[in-house]
Structures are given as structure tokens and as C-alpha cells.
Amino acid sequence: MSGFSVLLRRELALSWGGGGGPLLALAFYLAVATLLPLAIGAEPGRLAAIAPGAAWIGLALASLLSLERLFERDYEDGALDLLALGPAPLELAAVAKCLAQWITTGAPLALLAPVAAVALGAEVRLAPLTFAAALVGGVGFSFCGGIGAALSLGSRRGGMLIAVIVLPLFAPPVIFGGGAIAAYAAGLDWRTPLMLLSAYSLAMAALGPFAMAAACRNALS
């Protein structure tokens, strides 16, 4: 078994054993979808107009919940020092952590996204695109969020700092993802915003591990 497979299996086990997997994020997402009609009114036309954007905002906020412990747990118990000194590069460990976060949190949220959007009034025909866009955007959320989690290592209020760092960077996928769904619903060009969303996620997956590894080494020094 390769070193990366071992790292990924470890992170998946920690994600499910330490924080209950995606349950907290899914519950938060459902709470957002439930409370929104109570806040703005249950008029179907109004809800249908904001359903794609609201689903994506909820998706971004729910993705934040599992980021605080992404590196902090290993930082506190000394495992991060061993990962930094091990044969596998720290960048590879960062990739394993973000992939595990996407598998255990991002993918289940993507499955729930079309359900939430339809519940808020979106057309059922938008469900496949909503799922595909949420699945692609979840990769960007995981790797971008990993950068914030690594930069907040050692801080006293890591969760708040992650939100401050990451939320502005979450704006592009929210805009592109919601824009793709809205364009598809209106019969406009939806492929361009979807390709921009894919480009964002690929860029984060390619550049994020180097930023995470540099931030972790700085916290350990």
C-alpha cells in the first residue's frame, strides 16, 4: 500500500471517528434550508428566485464546520511533526487531508444540495446540474478551506480566523455555481460559469497543498 493511501485511510478514519463525519454539516445545511423560508416568507415565486444562490451560500457555510480540526488535531498531539519529518512530503499529507474532507463532507453536502434547492422552490430539472456543480465546487471549498485551516494553526480562536480568511475566497465558487444554475434555468449559457467553477477548484487543488505545507512548517518552526 502506498504512503498516500495510508494517509488517506488515516484521514478518513479520523474524519468519521472524531467528528461524526458529515452529520454536523448536513444538519447545519438542513437548518439553513428550513429557516430561510421562515425569514423571507414562504411565497413560492420569491423562494424559487433565490433558491440557487441560497443553496450555494448554505453549502459554503456548511463546508466551514469541518475545517477547524483539519490540521489542529495533528498539531496539538504532535502528529503533524511526524508527518513533516516522514518520508512523504507534507504537501502530500495536505492533499490527503483535503480529499478526506471532501469525501466525508463535500460529497454528502453535494448530494443534499439539489434536495435543498428543490425544497426552496427550484425546478426539479435543475437537480442534476446542482449536484454536479456542488460536487465540483466542494473540491474548491476543501482545498481553499485547508489553506485557512493551516494559516490559523496555533491561534486561540482558530474557527473565527478560518472564517475571516476563507469566506472571501469562497465568493467565486458561490458566484460561479449559483450563476451556472440560474443561467440554465433561464435558458442561457451555463457552461461558461461551470467551467470557471471547475477552473477555480483545479487551481485550488494544484496550488493549495503548497500553501498549506508552507503554513504548517511555519507553525511548527
Domain total for the chain? Answer: 1
Q: Which residue has the cell 511533526?
A: 81
Cβ partners under 8 Å of residue 118, min gap 6? 51, 124, 126, 127
Tell the residue number behind the cell numbers 511526524, with chain if given: 82
Confidence of residue 177 (pLDDT cuts 50, 70, 90): very high
Q: Could you report the per-residue pLDDT of 95-138, keeping only the tens digit for each?
A: 999 999 999 889 999 999 998 888 888 888 989 999 999 999 99
Here the cell at position 122 is 427550484
Can you count the helices (H) and strands (E) in the chain? 10, 0
Count other Cβ atoms within 10 Å, centred on residue 213. Answer: 20
What cell numbers appear for 180 in the block?
451556472
Please give the distance of CA 82 from its chain centroid, rounded to a whole number: 26
179 pLDDT more than 70: yes
Which of the four pLDDT bands, split at 50, 70 and 90, describes residue 15?
confident
At 40 the pLDDT is 75
For residue 196, pLDDT beyond 70: yes
The boundaries of the domain holding residue 70 are 3-220
**pLDDT value for 70:** 85
Which pLDDT does position 20 carry in this prediction? Answer: 55
Please tell me the pTM assigned to this model. Answer: 0.89
pLDDT of residue 19: 52
What distance in Å separates the CA atoms of residue 171 and residue 166, rounded to the nearest whole number? 9
Provide the mean pLDDT of the chain: 86
Predicted confidence (pLDDT) per residue in 38-90, tens digit: 777 767 777 777 777 888 888 888 888 878 778 888 888 888 888 888 888 89
Task: Give the long-range contacts of residues 191-200, CB within 8 A, separation 24 or more.
Answer: 194/129, 194/132, 194/133, 194/136, 196/172, 197/133, 197/136, 197/137, 197/140, 197/172, 197/173, 198/136, 200/137, 200/140, 200/172, 200/173, 200/176
List all residues 6 or more positions away from 58 whose beta carbon is below 8 Å from its beta carbon. 28, 29, 32, 33, 36, 116
Is there a contact between 61 and 30 (Cβ–Cβ < 8 Å)? no
